[in-house]
Amino acid sequence: MADDDSRAGIRYADPSIVRYCDDAHAALDSGLLAAFSAPKQTGIPAIMVGKSEGRLLNLLVRLSGAKRAVEVGTLAGFSALQIARSLPKDGHLWTIENEPLHADVARQNIVDDGLGDRVEIVLADGPQGLAQIAPNGPFDLVFLDADKERYDVYAHWAIENLRPGGLILVDNAYFFGQLLDETDEAAAVRAMHVYVAAHCDSVCIPTPDGLVLGIKRS
């Protein structure tokens, strides 16, 4: 059920409602909490996905049956853990991070969670890291949560390297409310939307930040 206001973008959530739903559906165990809390404890920007968005990633990986996954933008490893936990034992996640401190913190969180053999952190700038891992494809799932000015570049790579039926997920699809601005960064995010829609059955899920979900067409 919806109404004209909610269809137009008005949201009925407030911080207390979000906290209630996070607690009900996306409570963090010790491993996830360590990764979620790490940015504030280490000086890393606290720009990871929210608790419920992380849980959504976890469930989408499980629903898709993905075995070979890619993430661009590791930060402290919270979303990497959500993805890796849903991979089968013989699954693998390649996650790309260009900041050494972020990579070190994420690596420790991943090892502490017992997933060191399932996750490879690639310390490189986004396009260079993707070029390094491309021979391991085709991939089942690609999650983008990195520099927005190159979202169009990352989306092209994802579509080229996903198997037919594979998933692309893109966070911050609303570009912090600036999606329709006349800037190069906003244009790159809009180009991502257009390219994904042209090559996938897709939708922009109205999470607080917007999350594009696409299934690559055959």
Looking up residue 139, the CATH number of its domain turns out to be 3.40.50.150
On whether residue 4 sits in a domain, the answer given is no
Q: Is residue 199 part of a domain?
A: yes
- At 105, list the tokens: 């913190």
Give the number of other Cβ atoms within 10 Å of residue 29's Cβ.
9
Residues 196/155, Cβ–Cβ less than 8 Å: yes
Strands annotated E in 130-210? 139-144, 162-171, 200-205
Q: How far apart are CA 22 and CA 51, in angstroms?
A: 6
pLDDT score of 4 = 83
Q: Give the number of domains in the chain.
A: 1
Q: Is residue 208 included in any domain, yes or no?
A: yes
Is 146 part of a structural domain of the chain? Answer: yes
pLDDT at 10: 83
Structure tokens belonging to residue 179 = 């999606």
| Residues in the chain where the model's pLDDT stays below 50 | none
Report if residue 5 sits inside a domain: no
Q: Identity (one letter) of the amino acid at 85? A: R
Count of C-beta atoms within a 10 Å radius of residue 34: 20
Could you give the C-alpha distances from 210 to 8, 134, 145, 179, in angstroms and in order?
14, 27, 11, 11
Give yes or no for a contact between 87 and 63, defined as CB atoms under 8 angstroms apart.
no
Q: Is residue 2 part of a domain?
A: no
Q: Does residue 132 sit within a domain?
A: yes
Domain that holds residue 207: 11-216
Neighbouring residues of 114: CB distance < 8 A, sequence distance ≥ 6: none
Is 209 a member of any domain?
yes
pLDDT at 13 (0 to 100)? 86
